[in-house]
Each structure stands twice: as C-alpha cells, then as structure tokens.
Structure 1
C-alpha cells in the first residue's frame, strides 16, 4: 500500500498513516492465523463423523492445508518482527465461540460447515486483499482455499442431497445459522479492532463501519447464490 506524503496542515501525518496500516495488517494476519489454526483443529476433529475412509480423507486433506496456511501467515508475521501468538490472542475467544456455537451434529453438518465457512472466508480475503501491499497480498493469495477443494466440497454436498432429499430443509437451516454466526462474528471483530480504518488516508471509525457493512453485504449475497446452486434456500 502506498502511503500519501503529508502536507503542511494535514490532519494525519504520513507516519501515523503508516502506523495505522501496520496495525491493520498485524490485526488482519493475527485473525487469519488463528482462524486457520482453529480450522485445522476442527476439521481434524470433524473427520470422525465421516461415513467412509475416503470421506475422512477429504476433511483430513483440508485440515493439512489449513495448517500449512497457518504456518505461512506466521512466517509473514515473524518477518514483520511480530510475535504470531501475540497477534492471534485478541481473536482467540471470538473464533472459539463461533466454533462452540456451530458444532456439527453429524457428517452432513460437518461438510456443510466446511463449505460455508471456507466460502465466506474466501470472499472476505478477496474483498480485503486488493487494498494491501504486495507482500501481504501474496501471503493471503497463498492461504486461499483452492478452487479444486471448493468444487470437491460442492460436489459432495450435491451428491449427498441427491441421495437423501430429506436433508434439504435441515441443511438449509444449518446453512443460515452458519452464515448468521459467521457474519455476526466478523462484524464484532470489525467493530472491536477497528478493521479497515488503516486502509484510508481519511480513515474514521464511521467509514470503517460502513466499509465492513458493505463487505458483509457482498458475503451475504454470495452465500445466497451458493446455496441456490445447491438447491437450498439461503
């Protein structure tokens, strides 16, 4: 990100803008790192619901990828001179609470959770990354879920719904709960940690809140489209 040069009389100096941006990046990467570590733990745990060994391998492969993403983000934080654990700690409670409130009851719900949460996370990364510096943008690009994995999850869900149409109403309701919880947590984090303030020279709490709201609206629309493609009501 390029920081505009300060002019006499500027309300915010270039140094302050740089400090704002650095704080934003550390907060963002700290949140991503803990999210990836938590995803690794929960995907590994949820794999126990798998009806077949092949299905267990699907979630196992996803879990391994998430841990690799966690290590990449930690490497970036270390490169910035930041302690990854300190960067992650502010986000531990809110992410853990999300997983506590969205604990799947069976394989069907586990698969839906993996699909919904992965997709929302992808949309969030895409919305944020274009405003970041090259090095941080590169790290975020590397931690994004592969298109192959997303397609695989969607295919498994479609096959599952085709095999048992009675699942539709339950998984539609579960999907709504998942997206509601995810967006609620994202909004809370955005407000508490002043996300996006550091991305604008004239950044204010009010403008950041408006930007977060706009991003959440995009995430909601994209979620509805994905659910429709599965034949589910968002």
Structure 2
C-alpha cells in the first residue's frame, strides 16, 4: 500500500476498516428499507442509509488526503467483515435491526476507543462518522413496538443479540492478529510492548472489548431486551 509521508499505519487501518464498515452498513440499511413494513418506515431507514453513505465519503476523502488509495486501505478488511456478516445473517427484518443496533454499536464503541489514541483530526472524524443522529432511538423504538405486539419475540431477539456480541469479539481478535498496526494503537493505551508474537496486542484488544459491556447492556435495555 502506498501511504503519505506522515500517515500512521494504524490510523490508515482504522480509517480503512471503518470506511468498509460504513459502506456495508449503507447497503444493509438500503435492503432493510425495502423490507420495512410501512412507507414511512421505508423512508426513515432510507434516510439512515444515505447518512452511512455520506460517512463513507468522508472517510474516503480523508484517506485520499493522506495520500492513500481508499480501495487499498479497505481491502484487508473485506474478507473478515464479509465473513462476520455471513455468520450473522439475519432471518427477519427485526433481527436485521437488532444487528445494526447491537453489532454496529459495539463495533462503533471499539472504533471510538481506538481513535482516542490517534491524532486529533482522526478522533474528530471518527466521532462525526459514528454519530448516531437519531438512528439508535429509531431502531429501539421499532423493536419495542414489535415486542408490544408480540412479547414472545423478546427471548429470541435477546439470544440473537448475545450471539452478535460473541461473534464481534471473535472477529476483533482475528483482525488484531492479522493487522498488528491497528492493534498497536490499542497497546499505546495499555502500555504493553510487542513481543513479536502479537499476543500482547491481542490481549489488549480483548480487554478493550470487555470494557464495552456497559454500552451493550444499555442498548439491550433501550430495545426492551434482556442481557
């Protein structure tokens, strides 16, 4: 990959990972809009998809400013993120909404924590890209409304949410092993050194994800689901 003279490899990885995640989120939300049960909901979800596409453009433009080909920056994350989505294929519209809220939410918390260890411009961009802009409230409202109509859905959706978190943790560890530059951002905060095996980076990433459980519990509560 060709990078600018001052481009931090870990920052490039973070921006590339997030760019591909936002691009995928756009497509998934566009699909969700098609399946939505009402015209109003279709329009609301289409608006959320448009926001994700705007976020992708911001990340793409920033990578180009750094002298990086956005496609090259995203390329290392295509296989792992596609694999995560294949393993967590929703079986209903509601499962898809829960996946967006829970899966993207815990990943977003992770991106924010990593960005805190990067330069100020990267931190600000990541915060802008990950701003919910009403998405969380909208999804939580849709799930709560569905549970009011059919309370029996709560158990299945709660189990689904727990599976999503487990898969997210596993995927994060896999990415950390494959992308040591990204994991190195985490170890800056952890104060650990690299021993050549990548195990210290992996442990730091695992600890960081373990610290995100509070946010996950709040999301479940907002949707009316049990932890």
- Please state how far the C-alpha of 1:132 moved relative to its aligned partner: 1.2
Structure 1 segment 128-143 matched on structure 2, within 5 A = 128-143=114-129
- The 5 Å alignment of 1:108-123 reads 108-123=94-109
What's 1:185 paired with?
171
Aligned partner of residue 196 in structure 1, secondary structure: helix
Distance in structure 1 (CA, Å) of the matches to 2:46 and 2:56: 15
Which residue number corresponds to residue 70 of structure 1? 56
Q: Residue 7 of structure 1 aligns with which residue? A: none
Tell whether 2:34 aligns with 1:48: yes
What's 2:18 paired with? 32
Q: Report the CA distance between 1:202 and its aligned residue.
A: 6.2
Tell whether 2:210 aligns with 1:223. Answer: no
Instruction: Verify the 8 A CA contact 1:37 1:67 in the aligned structure 2.
Output: yes
1:150 to 136, 147, 151: 136
Compute the TM-score of the two structures, normalised by the length of structure 2. Answer: 0.87
Greater than 3 Å deviation, 4+ residue runs: 228-231
Deviations 1:147-197 (A, max 9, x none): 522122212222221221011111111111222222211121112101231
Aligned length: 216
TM-score w.r.t. structure 1 length?
Answer: 0.84
1:14 matched residue in structure 2? none
Long gaps (5+) in structure 2? none
The alignment's C-alpha RMSD in Å is 2.1
Any unmatched runs of 5+ in structure 1?
1-17
For 1:3, the equivalent position in structure 2 comes to none
Counterpart contact for 2:22–2:55, Cα < 8 Å: yes
The offset of 1:130, in angstroms, is 1.6
Conservation of the 8 A alpha-carbon contact between 2:95 and 2:157: yes
State whether residues 29 and 73 of structure 1, in contact with CA within 8 Å, keep that contact through their aligned partners in structure 2. Answer: yes
Matches within 5 A, 1:175-214: 175-194=161-180, 195-198=182-185, 200=188, 203-204=193-194, 205-214=198-207
Conserved 8 A contact 1:44-1:59 = yes
Q: CA deviation at 1:76?
A: 0.8
Larger-gyration structure (1/2): 1
